[in-house]
Amino acid sequence: MFSKKNSAIDIQNATGQPLVRELKSSATSDNKKLIGASLIIFLGVFTGFLLSKSLGNKGTGFRRDRIGGTDKEVVGSTDTKTFRDSAEGELEAGGINGEGTHSLIRPGGESQTVALTSSVLDLSQFEGKKVRVWGETFAGQTAGWFMDVGKVEVND
């Protein structure tokens, strides 16, 4: 049952056939797998590209519009569930005692000023303008009202 071949033990079954055989890898089999994987990746990227082109801005939830025949410009997110709070006033650079990047100056004095920041907009393009902002209110440490702005309507 055991035969010595090149100082290694060769195990054979009762018919004399080896029980363990060497696997022979085929170069064409490896090439087919590589081509198949490459094709799948290419088709995935191509499909993503086509979907992004067909959805356009619809999928982003971000708009920049002019309202009717007026000079009101609306910029920002269309997500009304997240950005449900609103305030009006004049937007100025600088927050309140280090909170926020901008301030919204409202009638009624300093206690009515809103500290603003934005995770989706560049507020600096609206500095010095009368605006209405929509956002999500957060607890401020020093500011009476602290808002993350998601949408801006320019009233100037």
Number of domains in the chain: 2
> Which range of residues forms the domain containing residue 68?
62-154
Domain match, 52 and 66 both: no
pTM of the model: 0.55
Q: 70 and 6, same structural domain?
A: no
Do residues 84 and 141 share a domain? yes
Take residue 84 and report the two structure tokens written for it: 């449900």
Residue of 46, 67, 136, 144 lying closest to 103 (CA atoms): 144
140 and 69 within one domain: yes
What φ, ψ does residue 113 adopt, rounded to 5°? Answer: -70, 140
Residues 109 and 91 in one domain: yes
Same-domain status, 79 and 110? yes
Question: What is the residue-level pLDDT of the chain in tens, covering all 156 positions?
Answer: 455 455 455 666 667 777 777 766 666 777 888 999 999 999 999 998 888 777 654 444 555 555 555 567 888 888 778 888 889 999 999 888 888 899 999 888 888 888 898 988 889 888 999 999 999 988 878 888 888 999 998 886
Name beta bridge partners: 74.
65, 153
